Amino acid sequence: MYTNNKLSKAVRLAIAFGAASATAFTASVKAQEEGETKVERIEVTGSRIKRTDLETSSPIQITSAEEIKLSGFTRIEDLMNSLPQVEAAETSFLANGAAGTATLDLRGMGAQRTLVLVNGRRLQPGGIYTQSADINQIPASLVKRVEVLTGGGSATYGADAVAGVVNFVMNDDFEGFELTVGGSGYQHDNDNDYLQGLMDDRDYEYPTGSSGIDGKTINIDLTMGGAFAGGKGHATAYATWRQVDELRQGARDYSSCALNAAGTACGGSPTTPIPNFYFYPSEDGSPDFAQEVNWTLDPNGGFDTSRGATPYNYAPVNHFMRPDERYTFGAFVDYEINEHARPYMELGYMHDRTVAQIAESGIFFDFFTFDINNELFSDLQRQQLRDAFGADITEVGAYIGKRNIEGGGRQDILEHTSYRMVAGVEGDINDSWSYDVSFQYGSTASNSVYQNDFYKPRIASAVGAIGAAPCEGACVPYPVFTYQGISAEGAASMGGTAILTGNTSQTILNAFVSGELDMTLPTSSMPLAAVFGIESREVDFERIADEVFALGDLAGQGGPTPSLIGGYNVREIFGELSVPLLDDAPAVENLVLDLGYRYSDYNISGGESTYKVALDWSVTSDWKLRASYNRAVRAPNVAELYGAENLGLWAGVDPCAGATPEYSAAQCANTGVTADQYGTIAANSASQYNGYFGGNLDLKPEIADTMSFGVVANPFEGFNFSVDYWDIQLDDVIGAVNGELTLRQCALTGDAAFCDEVTRAPGTGSLWRGEAGFVNSFTINQASRHVRGVDLSSNYETDIGEGKLTVKLIGTYSLEKEFEPLPGLDSATYDCSGNIDADCFAQPKWRHTMTVSYTTGDFWTASAKWRYFGDVDYNGATDTLVGDGISSQSYLDLTGAFEINEHIALLVGVNNVLDKEPPMVGGSLSSNANTVAGFYDTLGRYVHASVTMRF
């Protein structure tokens, strides 16, 4: 790259990212002071053209290693989710349906649209349940800085950079030996009067007072590095271990019961410990659904014919935070043969094991037919059935809901083992040009062992249903019609185990040259700079399901989990051009035009072009204006292409269920509800309904247009700021239409495009009892998404006494977050900015973090952080929040760092000092435990301490 002799500009613009970023320029400043002519250049996220400063024509937010350390987090996703630009995706606070990974979601556009890099190179997909990168692979202790690029990036890095890029720059030039031992945990005062009152109404148990320290984490991080071969080479190696204890929902009062969809009462599951039965008279296997009765068991040996069973409070058994154990090892090595050849290598290994526990399994309203003389019926029960359906009845049909509390919770044991290797060589071709050639291979082997779920093929025999094999030999009867009649042996005999194994791999060959062209414009003293390169990338995915998973033979899975095998490859050419247009003119210190282009040839969808145009205008050494336009694409991933059709569950509500449905009889008739069924269809108190899902080989790539413009300034000594407007328009969105949206549009419009996707169970009209009722939700190219907003970053630094005070603020204002599920359907379009509902993640209009730090420069540093979430409204048809919406939330974090001596440092801190509870939401909005888990502070105070020893 070209030499920029305007050193003051480079340094002042670097300060715009704070003191931590400015230290990156110490070497180049010193070199300049000593009379050397070349300023050190670095590669910044968003371009492969090396620069003399971190400020670019595209907005980049940087988090330094110091900020990571002061946060006290050992899970890198916890730190990243605290940034205003990031929404919570896969975290440790998810249990039901957890992938066991940690993913990032920029701008709330989906983790699959956020490209994750390590040292500017892609991280491979994370495992059998996700196509997104698992950042569990990244050791927080070795991160030098995190660069977040808003919007675009496809021209530089290829597909998937729709919402932006997160680049973890590692400390690969570490010197010395460092060992850090830390511990952390959560503490909460259980005093939620609202939730405790709801639980008192149901006679539920819950904790009170202080929780003590729970959800503990222990971590050990080892880093060592140094030069070898007389200074020609350098190696950095690391090893980390982290163990996280489980924390169940019963450990907090606000999560000790599952709220109903409205958030007004403790809900729960209709699958209950004392069974729920829906009985019907039947003849030759044909039930008369019009004569339905809902009964439970009576302790006296009969049926309680006055009511069904009280919903089961499944919450306390569920994990609030999963237990986890993780090991990572790795190394970074480079060696200088000469100025023309500098080989390098990156090696990484990660093994992670976590367990996701949810409530006990059972018989989830499967339908059976029974002979009236079945020996599992008591004489009293037999008579009650005859009294209800006629003395001459010979068989009855029944939906059975029985929770197997005798057998303990269901557990999904999730393990991931990842390997990543980068080998390459870089060097100077001449004084103006350099090259970089690299080969990268990443692979993640993962498995899921699901245990203690009911094995469905055993149920019919165990309960004595008509048509089932006699319960003989190894079969243990399951006396479902006997009050509390299930033995431990009977419960254990019903359990089954299913296994998924798989491997995902990514192979990349990349080569590019970068340098100056022997060309300048007449209006500028600086030469043009360029990058030209090629890349070949191949992704393969394999998930093998055993027969139990493939056939959907576990009762609590919602349907089959099929095998998934597929892959794709892409061949690419790319280039960038930096064109200095003007310098040393009135009101123009520097004006640079940045161009980029990439052509990608996919074997599955053909050719796609991406490009960027950006303008970087330094008005003076203290003021900069910038603007950029990016065309980005995202090709469909393996699951979206090759996913087999399978039955699963979608979360939401059936607006035609309940005694007083939300929609009229005529509207519900559009969805398949008969006149007799209207007002009789039971809603699922767990807010889960059946759906058919699957991939689509005819998918087209998504296309995104990203624009941004802003200002960066250093108006006076010690203060700098940046303000950037960003706008992302995404078309041909790949996704599935939500089941509830399909239902609502069918009811409101009667359009066959929606109504043909709805199948109600014969007789009952249910979409959740058994598997006969469902809504199709296959993957398609939908319409569009449009998100836009403003990012603010500011830094202030001043000397006070013997120390230094720094204040840093980063914030995001959301102007629009509009979703158009289907083209031309204005009634289905909705805006999630400042709103939450069944389709909208909680998106405050304004969110920020402000950190105030004071350091003496030698012994101690103290910092306070204010994390703020603006209020969020609910715009749904029925209230599903505890209150009218989510009020604004503020969290205070305090940290103290102490340099005991040159070898020992101590860090202590408390996040969420005031023990602010997460806002409560109803069952249809909760991601876990009545909360938007992992986004707001979920478990109360977080206390942490660590000791670092350096040698």
Indicate if the pLDDT at residue 589 is higher than 60: yes
Which one, of 772, 16, 227, lies nearest residue 24 by Cα? 16
Looking at residues 445-463, what average pLDDT do you find?
95
Residue 489: helix, strand or coil by DSSP? Answer: helix
Looking at residues 236-251, what average pLDDT do you find?
97
Alpha carbon distance 92, 74 (integer Å): 12
- Provide the token pair at 776: 């199709």
Q: What is the pLDDT of residues 354-373, one digit of tens each?
A: 999 999 999 999 999 999 99
pLDDT of residue 666: 95
| DSSP-derived secondary structure for 877-894 | SS--BSSSEEPPEEEEEE
Q: How confident is the model at residue 24 (pLDDT cuts 50, 70, 90)?
A: very low
Q: How confident is the model at residue 34 (pLDDT cuts 50, 70, 90)?
A: very low
pLDDT of residue 21: 35
The contacts of residue 138 (CB under 8 Å, 6+ apart) are 76, 118, 123, 168
Indicate if the pLDDT at residue 175 is higher than 90: yes
pLDDT of residue 9: 38
pLDDT of residue 498: 97
- Amino acid at site 928: N
Residue 456: helix, strand or coil by DSSP? Answer: helix
Query: How many distinct helices (H) and strands (E) make up the chain?
Result: 15, 51
CA angle 539, 543, 546 (to 5 degrees): 170
Alpha carbon distance 61, 63 (integer Å): 7
Of 23 and 527, more confident: 527
Q: What is the pLDDT of residues 264-312, one digit of tens each?
A: 999 888 999 999 999 999 988 889 988 999 999 999 999 999 988 888 9
Indicate if the pLDDT at residue 715 is higher than 70: yes
pLDDT of residue 72: 86
Looking at residues 421-431, what average pLDDT do you find?
96
Return the beta strands (E) in 586-696 as ranges. 588-602, 606-618, 623-634, 646-651, 688-693
- Amino acid at site 578: S
Looking at residues 694-720, what average pLDDT do you find?
92
Q: How confident is the model at residue 563 (pLDDT cuts 50, 70, 90)?
A: very high
Alpha carbon distance 451, 411 (integer Å): 6
Burial of 775 (0-12, 13-18, 19+ CB in 10 A): buried
Please compute Rg for the chain using Cα positions. 30
Biggest CA–CA distance in the chain, Å, is 107
β-pairing verdict for 176-187 and 941-950:
antiparallel
Of 70 and 359, more confident: 359
Looking at residues 219-244, what average pLDDT do you find?
96
Return the residue matching tokens 């310098």: 583
Q: What is the pLDDT of residues 483-497, one digit of tens each?
A: 999 998 999 999 999
Share of the chain above pLDDT 70, in %: 94
Q: How confident is the model at residue 801 (pLDDT cuts 50, 70, 90)?
A: confident
Give the chain's mean pLDDT. Answer: 90
pLDDT of residue 159: 83
Return the residue matching tokens 């969805």: 671
Looking at residues 97-119, what average pLDDT do you find?
93
Give the number of other Cβ atoms within 10 Å of residue 859's Cβ: 12
CA angle 456, 457, 458 (to 5 degrees): 90
Share of the chain above pLDDT 90, in %: 71
Q: What is the pLDDT of residues 631-675, one digit of tens each?
A: 998 888 888 888 888 888 888 889 999 999 999 999 999 999 999
Indicate if the pLDDT at residue 843 is higher than 50: yes
Alpha carbon distance 593, 586 (integer Å): 18
Give the number of other Cβ atoms within 10 Å of residue 519's Cβ: 9
Q: How far is CA 951 from CA 225, 384, 905, in A?
A: 11, 81, 12
pLDDT of residue 26: 31
Of 816 and 763, more confident: 816
Q: What is the pLDDT of residues 755-781, one digit of tens each?
A: 999 999 998 999 998 888 999 988 888
Looking at residues 570-590, what average pLDDT do you find?
94
Q: How confident is the model at residue 743 (pLDDT cuts 50, 70, 90)?
A: very high
Q: Report whether 210 contacts 186 (CB < 8 A).
A: no
Looking at residues 151-161, what average pLDDT do you find?
83
Q: How confident is the model at residue 40 (pLDDT cuts 50, 70, 90)?
A: low
Q: How confident is the model at residue 20 (pLDDT cuts 50, 70, 90)?
A: very low
pLDDT of residue 55: 63
DSSP classification of residue 801: T
Burial of 203 (0-12, 13-18, 19+ CB in 10 A): exposed
Indicate if the pLDDT at residue 32 is higher than 60: no
**β-bridge mates for residue 831, sequence order:** 818
Q: Report whether 113 contacts 167 (CB < 8 A).
A: no
Task: Tell me which of 22-26, 668-672, 919-923 is least confident.
Answer: 22-26
Alpha carbon distance 894, 915 (integer Å): 13
| Statement: 7-251+321-357+414-450+500-640+700-738+779-950 belongs to CATH 2.40.170.20 | yes
Alpha carbon distance 103, 134 (integer Å): 5
First to last CA, the chain: 37
Alpha carbon distance 922, 264 (integer Å): 8
Q: What is the pLDDT of residues 191-226, one digit of tens each?
A: 999 999 999 999 999 999 999 999 999 999 999 999
The contacts of residue 210 (CB under 8 Å, 6+ apart) are 187, 188, 189, 190
Looking at residues 711-721, what average pLDDT do you find?
94
